[in-house]
């Protein structure tokens, strides 16, 4: 079984989330899609829409690198 065989929406791993965080806005929409997705017969359970901020709360991003240090 691989990640592409999962019949429910699956989220990215932690490393992938951090890479997304470094290059994308926190409010970027992210679609989690199940392997059995069929656009013609979408039952509302095969796609989950979320944001990067919801996937990775309290995250560390590029803007934190410029903070003054005491």
DSSP-assigned letters across all residues of 1-65:
--GGG-SS--PPPHHHHHHHHHHS-TT-EEEEE-TT--GGG--SSSEEEEEHHHHSTT---GGGG
pTM passes above 0.75: no
pLDDT at position 27: 95
List pLDDT tens digits, range 19-70. Answer: 999 899 999 999 988 877 776 566 666 788 999 999 999 888 888 887 677 7
pLDDT of residue 35: 78
- Residue 4 pLDDT more than 80? no
Segment 4-23 shows an average pLDDT of: 84
């Amino acid at each position: 079984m691989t990640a592409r065989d999962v019949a429910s929406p699956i989220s990215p791993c932690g490393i992938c989330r951090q890479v997304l965080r470094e290059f994308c806005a926190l409010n970027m929409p992210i679609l989690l899609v199940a392997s059995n997705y069929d656009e013609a017969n979408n039952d509302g359970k095969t796609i989950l829409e979320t944001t990067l901020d919801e996937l990775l709360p309290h995250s560390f991003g590029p803007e934190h690198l410029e903070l003054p240090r005491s």
